[in-house]
Structure 1
Amino acid sequence: MTLIDNLARLEAAASGRARPRATVRHRHLSERPLVLVPLVTAGEAGAPLGALIGTERTSPRLLTVAQPRDRDLRFAFLSQLAEVLLPYVESFADDVEAAERTETDPETGKRVKVETELCADAPQLIVPSRAGVEFVRLLGRSMRFRRTAEQDPDAPYPAPPRVPLLGRWLTHYGERSRVPGSALLLAMTDLLSRHWATGQSSLEEQHLGALLAWIEAPEGTSGEAAALRAELARDADGQLLCPPAGPATDPAFDNDLLAPAIERHDRARSALAAAADGVEADALLASLAAAEREIEALVASRTRPTWDAVWRGLDALCTLPEAPHAVDRWRGDRWSFTGHRDRVAAGEPPQPRVDDAVTAANKLATREREQARLEAQEALDDPLVMAGRRLAGEAFAGVVTDVVMTYSEGRSPRPRPLVTVRTADRPHLDPGVKVYRSLDGKAQSAQFVTYDVEGEDEGEGEDGRDGGDGGDGGDGRDGAAGRGVGDGGGSLVVLRVLDKMGRGKEPDAGSVPEAGDRLCWTLFEHEQRGGPKLPDPEDTPWTHGGPPQSATTPSGAPAPGESPDPVTAEDVL
């Protein structure tokens, strides 16, 4: 957390209102997201109680499980979930556009560009909190290895036809959510806390109602008091006015309302099974239907407030303009969705429970690279984020005071202009360190040469500007959030520009800064480099588990898919 973030939290605690941590929206929001508010039985993470799901704010679909411990009822719930979620996912699969991507030629080993198709958009799933993301991953793991009656007629507990496919998609979304900057599966609490700072801890911000109370607090009211009411206020029956659904439940709700309703349902179900004749069965069937409607009403009463809160959070986020680089990251999500669509269509087996060494290393390297890329892009897009990097000494902004054209030595001299920048920031610069600025969407690098000692005596210059005039990522716009940073006298930094000046002896127009330009230079690279090439999976050394199991049987036939999860004591409740 940067100094700017800490300052925003202190201001929020002092004023009683949330303070902005960003001036733009750093995550892409779909025009038609699918909102999922799950609810699970207390103490049993794998026993869903119900869910609200849908793409329309005013007409969500309510799914319930009258007895979460009943396997057949859980399968019916998952089947209904697949009926809603899979058509939404598949509606994005056929709308494609031509795109180019770089692949390795298997014959030459060289990187070549290949034209392929890319889905024009991707489905986006939004849950209330981080616990909802983990619930999606758990659902995916519990379903993707299940066997249907068509796949395995001898399966003891066959799953409904579309449930395994739903498990594969939820697993993909859960894995993609671990990639920094991804927007396929988002938690609303993480979205809001990324863009607003409150006086709460990060753990308290996982309560969506309390977090929105800080953001929506009217003028003259205290966000802290509103958040406290959202967490603790109860009605005359002792039930929370803002239940923590998605997927947790309140113990008072479990003990006072839910447990008795489920008991009445179980008694009505047992009595119906033991009915002696049709007349008695008809009366008991009405009693069972009434018990089911009671449970549906209870689930709706717990999930609807959270459903409305998620949509209010989307309204708040839509007031911020989308960051330029968020579109690029969403394109990566579209590639991820397209790739999984192709794997499913090709009939590939489900994702394995445990990745082999090469796959695990690739995933870890991708997440590390995307984390560094996300931090750089957010700073380039947002002057408020860049101000935090400047205060940390990872960037500096200032005004160009002088440009001296020099050339490299050698048979073909290249322009290497010396640019002097007056800045009030205090970057961590050592001789030879490279710095970068954004030039037409690309990073132009320069090398730190020295400090001009005379600049320390000249103060801030005639115009009185300091390092706050350009904390915007280097595109020349004023960064109001960075003004006033480092007011204690400016210094002159001498840089040697190294590239992005064209191939001629004279630099291209606009490629060299001019005196009076306001620029922001960063000590971090704008684009991350790829790591070393990993061996092929079949060449994995024995120290890392050896090669994965062969994809064929000894007879040469394709090996069957991974066997389903073994039945354990937890599966037979």
Structure 2
Amino acid sequence: MSMLSTVATLRAIQTGRAQPLTTVRHQHVDARPFVLVPLTLAGEACAPLAALVGTDPERPILLTVRQPRDRVLRFRFVEELAALLLPYIAGCLDETETYTTGKGKGAQERECALRAPQLLVPNGEGIAYVRRLGRLTRLRTTEGPHAVHPDVPTLGKWLTWLANQAEFPGSSTLLAVSRMLTAHWATGQSSTEDSHLAAVVAWIDPPEGSSGAVAARETENPLVCPPAGPATDAGFDVVLDDLLTRYAEADGRVRERLGERIDSALREQLRPTWDLVWRGAGLVRALPEGNHVEERWTYDRRWFSDYAVYLEEHGHPQGKRDRAVGAARRLARLEDAVSRYQTERAFDDPLVMAEYELTGEAFTGTVVARDGDRFVPGGKSPRWRPVITVRSEHPVRLTVGAEVRSPARPLQKAEIIDVTPYDGTHLVALQLAGGFASKRKPPAPPGTLAEVGEKVTYTVLGVGSVLAKLPAEEDTPWTHGGPPPPYEPTGEDAEEEWA
């Protein structure tokens, strides 16, 4: 926890209401997300019990498994989920746009969907559920003794893709609402308690006349506010076990009535969380959008479009384990995504940037002098290198030679060439290069060179971040086992246990 997060948490405890950690929204919230609120059978990791799903907050669709230990009924549940989620995914591909990748002779035109699917789950455990359900279904065979409906492995492939995308901090295709809320607000409770969606919403938006602390305390009663899943409440498990047992032993009309009672009990457990997911998404959506959110959503749309093409042309599921080159490439992408997301959040949000100022990775000050006509010796001719001097009221921990960037002019390189204490402040001289609308000599185009009196921020974030170049899988060197054979699903995959 950072210093500002700690201060915000203490402030929330003092005021009884969650405190903002950001000034803008850093995630895309779609106008029509697909919400999944799952429940699993107690004692098993991913045995589906029920789920509320859909895109209409007023009309959730209930899926139940009245005999959750029955393997056939489990896959029927997956078929029903696929019948709802797969058309939603396919609908995102209806409208596309063309964009160009690469430069010069290597430039290529590609198609990109105008929308990408967005799956919302209540909490981090919901993301883990999506990952497990994808793993347990994507490798199933559609022929032979363990055959399943063709939609089952297709859904599994998409669930696995969504779960993989959720590991990238800038992606918005699969989001846990509790995590989304706590990324934008600090509550007055522990990080463990922050996984409780109802408590987080209570801290942020308590009822009229109540405080967040009081409202959050009331959500601890499972009779008033059932758990957000996928695990169920122990007290409810006793009632459910009795109903499931009687249902298994009954027949005819009695069995049907018991089935309806099971459905009704499960709906009562799920509906409060369903409403909280939509309410939480609305709270985040109400925040103004950060400048880089649309750009990150564009990347999501492109990754989604590329994967849809891959499934159509090849259709191979992801293997149980990543191979050497694939794992290295994925790790490089993750590292790059983390770096870019941290930089973009700070550039979009002064409250986030303030955290980096406290750690010495950034500083803010006022421009007190500038030399727009400065040249330095170069190879064939002198190079234009303007200098600005910034006075910072706070200590500057960055040293001479450090490369920095300004959120106001992110394409302009800056190097610290002098740091001087002055009358209780610090004077920082910055040599600038680039970002002058391609001009190589003065005068600088308006707005490209900071004016005297302008308040500026500079940081080391985003400097020197380069995505590692790795060989293609077929070019894997012998030191790493050589090119691996293509993965082929086996009968053992289809027999994998649910638990």
| Band of TM-score, shorter chain | over 0.9
Match of 1:241? Answer: 224
Structure 2: how far apart are the matches of 1:248 and 1:157? 28
**Secondary structure in 2 aligned to 1:173?**
helix
Match of 2:210? Answer: 221
Q: 2:455 aligns with which of 500, 518, 537?
A: 518
Amino acid in structure 2 at the alignment position of 1:265: Y
**Secondary structure in 2 aligned to 1:99?**
strand
Match of 1:544? Answer: 480
1:218 is displaced (CA, Å) by 4.7
Structure 1: how far apart are the matches of 2:479 and 2:16? 56
Range 75-84 or range 222-231, more displaced? 222-231
Amino acid in structure 1 at the alignment position of 2:99: A
Structure 2: how far apart are the matches of 1:426 and 1:563? 62
Matches within 5 A, 1:305-324: 305-324=272-291
Match of 2:470? Answer: 534
1:70 is displaced (CA, Å) by 0.4
Kindly indicate whether the alpha-carbon contact (under 8 Å) linking 1:145 and 1:564 is maintained by their aligned counterparts in 2: no
Match of 1:413? Answer: 382
**Secondary structure in 1 aligned to 2:53?**
strand
Matches within 5 A, 1:329-478: 329-404=296-371, 405-410=373-378, 411-439=380-408, 442-453=410-421, 456-457=422-423
Amino acid in structure 2 at the alignment position of 1:514: E
Post-superposition Cα deviations, 1:293-324, rounded to whole Å, max 9, x if no partner, equal 11101110110000011111012112201111
1:391 is displaced (CA, Å) by 1.3
Structure 1: how far apart are the matches of 2:343 and 2:310? 32
Match of 1:69? Answer: 69
Q: 2:249 aligns with which of 267, 274, 278?
A: 267
1:546 is displaced (CA, Å) by 3.4
Amino acid in structure 1 at the alignment position of 2:412: Q
Matched, 1:7 2:7: yes
**Secondary structure in 2 aligned to 1:397?**
strand
TM-score scaled by structure 1?
Answer: 0.83
1:254 is displaced (CA, Å) by 0.2
Matched, 1:497 2:432: yes
Amino acid in structure 2 at the alignment position of 1:242: C
Kindly indicate whether the alpha-carbon contact (under 8 Å) linking 1:16 and 1:223 is maintained by their aligned counterparts in 2: yes
Range 540-549 or range 291-300, more displaced? 540-549
**Secondary structure in 1 aligned to 2:375?**
coil
Structure 2: how far apart are the matches of 1:369 and 1:507? 36
1:89 is displaced (CA, Å) by 0.5
Amino acid in structure 1 at the alignment position of 2:7: L
Cα distance change of structure 1 residues 111 and 530 upon mapping to structure 2, 3 Å threshold? farther
Kindly indicate whether the alpha-carbon contact (under 8 Å) linking 2:52 and 2:63 is maintained by their aligned counterparts in 1: yes
Matches within 5 A, 1:141-152: 141-148=135-142, 152=143
Amino acid in structure 2 at the alignment position of 1:562: P
Match of 2:156? Answer: 167
**Secondary structure in 2 aligned to 1:186?**
strand
Match of 1:278? Answer: none
Structure 2: how far apart are the matches of 1:119 and 1:76? 30
**Secondary structure in 1 aligned to 2:224?**
coil
**Secondary structure in 2 aligned to 1:37?**
strand
Kindly indicate whether the alpha-carbon contact (under 8 Å) linking 1:2 and 1:389 is maintained by their aligned counterparts in 2: no
Amino acid in structure 2 at the alignment position of 1:508: A
Structure 2: how far apart are the matches of 1:156 and 1:192? 45
Amino acid in structure 1 at the alignment position of 2:230: P
Kindly indicate whether the alpha-carbon contact (under 8 Å) linking 1:373 and 1:527 is maintained by their aligned counterparts in 2: no
Kindly indicate whether the alpha-carbon contact (under 8 Å) linking 1:129 and 1:188 is maintained by their aligned counterparts in 2: yes
1:389 is displaced (CA, Å) by 1.1
TM-score scaled by structure 2?
Answer: 0.95
Kindly indicate whether the alpha-carbon contact (under 8 Å) linking 1:34 and 1:53 is maintained by their aligned counterparts in 2: yes
Range 17-26 or range 312-321, more displaced? 312-321
Cα distance change of structure 1 residues 165 and 568 upon mapping to structure 2, 3 Å threshold? closer
1:569 is displaced (CA, Å) by 8.8
Unaligned runs of 5+ in 1: 104-109, 235-239, 269-283, 458-488, 552-560
**Secondary structure in 2 aligned to 1:324?**
coil
1:396 is displaced (CA, Å) by 1.0
Structure 2: how far apart are the matches of 1:202 and 1:117? 41
Unaligned runs of 5+ in 2: none
1:536 is displaced (CA, Å) by 2.8
Kindly indicate whether the alpha-carbon contact (under 8 Å) linking 1:127 and 1:246 is maintained by their aligned counterparts in 2: no
1:538 is displaced (CA, Å) by 2.9
Kindly indicate whether the alpha-carbon contact (under 8 Å) linking 2:364 and 2:456 is maintained by their aligned counterparts in 1: yes
Structure 2: how far apart are the matches of 1:343 and 1:529? 26
Match of 1:272? Answer: none
Amino acid in structure 1 at the alignment position of 2:415: Q
Amino acid in structure 2 at the alignment position of 1:119: A
Structure 1: how far apart are the matches of 2:405 and 2:260? 63
Q: 1:302 aligns with which of 263, 269, 273?
A: 269
Structure 2: how far apart are the matches of 1:428 and 1:491? 10
Kindly indicate whether the alpha-carbon contact (under 8 Å) linking 1:448 and 1:496 is maintained by their aligned counterparts in 2: yes
Q: 2:194 aligns with which of 202, 205, 208?
A: 205
Match of 1:279? Answer: none
Cα distance change of structure 1 residues 344 and 567 upon mapping to structure 2, 3 Å threshold? closer
Q: Give the RMSD, CA atoms, in angstroms.
A: 1.9
Match of 2:95? Answer: 95
Cα distance change of structure 1 residues 302 and 550 upon mapping to structure 2, 3 Å threshold? closer
Post-superposition Cα deviations, 1:458-488, rounded to whole Å, max 9, x if no partner, equal xxxxxxxxxxxxxxxxxxxxxxxxxxxxxxx
1:227 is displaced (CA, Å) by 1.4
Amino acid in structure 2 at the alignment position of 1:407: F
Amino acid in structure 1 at the alignment position of 2:482: G
Match of 1:465? Answer: none
Match of 2:233? Answer: 250
Cα distance change of structure 1 residues 218 and 47 upon mapping to structure 2, 3 Å threshold? closer
Cα distance change of structure 1 residues 218 and 293 upon mapping to structure 2, 3 Å threshold? closer
1:490 is displaced (CA, Å) by 2.2
Post-superposition Cα deviations, 1:394-422, rounded to whole Å, max 9, x if no partner, equal 11111111112320113322221221111
Matches within 5 A, 1:52-67: 52-67=52-67
Kindly indicate whether the alpha-carbon contact (under 8 Å) linking 2:197 and 2:228 is maintained by their aligned counterparts in 1: no
Match of 1:37? Answer: 37
Q: 1:287 aligns with which of 254, 266, 275?
A: 254
Task: Count residues with an aligned counterpart.
Answer: 495
1:430 is displaced (CA, Å) by 1.5
Range 119-128 or range 499-508, more displaced? 499-508
With CA pairs under 8 Å and 6+ residues apart, which has the higher RCO, 1 or 2? 2
Structure 1: how far apart are the matches of 2:443 and 2:106? 31
Structure 2: how far apart are the matches of 1:203 and 1:522? 32
1:540 is displaced (CA, Å) by 2.5
**Secondary structure in 1 aligned to 2:111?**
strand
1:451 is displaced (CA, Å) by 2.4
Match of 2:178? Answer: 189
Structure 1: how far apart are the matches of 2:408 and 2:202? 41
1:226 is displaced (CA, Å) by 1.9
1:45 is displaced (CA, Å) by 1.5
**Secondary structure in 2 aligned to 1:288?**
helix
